[in-house]
């Protein structure tokens, strides 16, 4: 007799008021997020931020520097536009989000951690950089959305909150990222459960000079196994299932397999010249500063 599969976990409220308060506090006291250039070129960027090669306009959003408003264009069109220069594109960051149903697994669900992690990283980028591109493969119209200015933090949170749960191969992110020109640091948020699937995308992006940071919210299931018993395990992404009688021997073998997976993930990023950050995902109701300080620290490096 086939038992009905349990429903997929429902994500709790992603960004409750305590998290928003925490996020504002993090952004207010956090270190400056790194964009495409390092700190040694900060002075030069300050000079070039209002110079360089003019590449176009973009609509004004609250929070933009009023000095960058192109009043002539405003006089012609009646709407506010700000100028964009080449250096500005370099001072952006890109978030690539994995929306796979597999991330719904875990306690707390890894998808919740991914979205809050994206909110912190994106918020830091909006506050300290000039732009943020959020790439979510297979998300339809919301696959690529750009944000600029600290005033779009709420828009970023709404966007992250509205992203669907949909599976997409890692390679699907490459054309989305490269379509608008690769600029800034690329933050790839995923569980990297199939490291081999990320080899080609990471290599392709690295050939184009991308600096990639892999963010892996670590949950308990990544290193521990459930209680002994009769388990029917189901993969929410592939639909496969496996019934096992979990005992000590199988638990030990499973821990060994999880250790192998971690090693493969680290070897993947090491071979690609990228950084993999394992961020211990806090509990769904944990909004303490310490739980998220590591993100800020990593972004400041």
Partner 1 sequence: MVCALTFAAPWQLGWFTLLPLLWWLALPPRPRRQQWTAHLAQWQAAHAALRRQPPRLRGLRLVLLATAASCAIVAGAGPVWRAAPGPSRLTVLLDASASMAARGSADTSAFARADQRLGQVFDTLPPHVDVTLLRCGGPRLRRLGAAARARTDLGVPAGTLDVDLPALAAAVAAQPDTVVWTLTDGQAQAQLPTVGALTVLPAAGPNAAITAVRTVDRWPLPGLSLAVDLVACTDAACRGTLRADGALAAAAQRAVELAPGVPITVAFELERSAAGGELRLQLDVQGDVLAADDAFRAWLPPLPAPRIGVLAAADTTPFAALAARALADEVGGSVVDAATGTEVGFLLVDGGVAPVAPGRVRALTFGSRLAADVDVVPWLQPRLADWDRTSPLCQGLDLSELRIDTAFRGVLPAGAPFLWGEDAAGDRTPLAVLVDGGATASVHFAFRLQDGNLPLLAAFPQLLRRAFVRCHGAAAALVVTTPPPAPGEQDLRTAATAPDRPLPPFRAADRPLAAPLLLAGLLALVLRAFVR
**With respect to partner 1, which residue has the nearer C-beta, 155 or 197?**
197
**With respect to partner 1, which residue has the nearer C-beta, 126 or 225?**
225
Binding stretches for partner 1 (CB under 8 A): 1-3, 5-6, 8-9, 102-106, 110, 191, 193-194, 221-222, 226-227, 229-236, 238, 240-245, 249-250, 253-254, 256-258, 260-261
Minimum CB distance to partner 1, residue 194 (Å): 7
- CA–CA gap between residue 57 and residue 237 (Å, rounded): 41
Minimum CB distance to partner 1, residue 96 (Å): 18
Minimum CB distance to partner 1, residue 191 (Å): 6
Instruction: List all residues 6 or more positions away from 86 whose beta carbon is below 8 Å from its beta carbon.
Output: 52, 53, 55
- CA–CA gap between residue 142 and residue 137 (Å, rounded): 9
C-alpha dihedral, 153 to 294 to 9 to 230, nearest 10°: 170
Minimum CB distance to partner 1, residue 251 (Å): 9
**With respect to partner 1, which residue has the nearer C-beta, 76 or 263?**
263
Minimum CB distance to partner 1, residue 233 (Å): 5
**With respect to partner 1, which residue has the nearer C-beta, 83 or 199?**
199
**With respect to partner 1, which residue has the nearer C-beta, 246 or 300?**
246
């Amino acid at each position: 007799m086939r038992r009905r599969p349990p429903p997929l976990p429902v994500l709790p409220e992603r960004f409750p008021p305590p998290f928003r308060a925490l996020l504002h506090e993090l952004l207010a006291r956090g270190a400056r997020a790194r964009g495409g250039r390092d700190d040694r070129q900060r002075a030069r960027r300050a000079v070039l931020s209002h110079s360089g090669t003019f590449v176009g306009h973009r609509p004004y959003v609250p929070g933009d520097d009023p000095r960058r408003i192109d009043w002539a264009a405003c006089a012609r069109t009646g709407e506010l536009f700000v100028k964009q220069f080449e250096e500005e594109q370099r001072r952006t960051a890109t978030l690539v989000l994995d929306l796979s149903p597999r991330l719904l697994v875990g306690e707390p669900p890894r998808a919740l951690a991914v979205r809050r992690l994206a909110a912190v990283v994106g918020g830091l980028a909006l506050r300290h950089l000039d732009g943020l591109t959020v790439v979510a493969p297979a998300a339809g119209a919301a696959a690529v959305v750009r944000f600029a200015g600290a005033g779009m933090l709420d828009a970023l949170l709404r966007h992250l909150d509205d992203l669907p749960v949909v599976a997409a191969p890692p390679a699907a992110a490459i054309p989305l990222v490269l379509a608008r020109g690769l600029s800034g640091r690329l933050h790839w948020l995923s569980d990297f459960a199939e490291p081999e699937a990320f080899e080609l995308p990471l290599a392709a992006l690295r050939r184009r000079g991308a600096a990639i940071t892999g963010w892996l919210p670590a949950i308990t299931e990544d290193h521990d196994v459930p209680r002994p018993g009769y388990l029917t395990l189901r993969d929410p992404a592939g639909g496969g299932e496996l019934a096992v009688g979990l005992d000590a021997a199988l638990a030990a073998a499973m821990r060994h397999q999880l250790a192998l997976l971690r090693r493969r993930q680290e070897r993947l990023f090491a071979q690609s010249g990228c950084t993999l950050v394992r961020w211990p995902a806090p509990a769904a109701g944990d909004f303490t500063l310490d739980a998220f300080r590591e993100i800020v620290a990593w972004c400041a490096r």
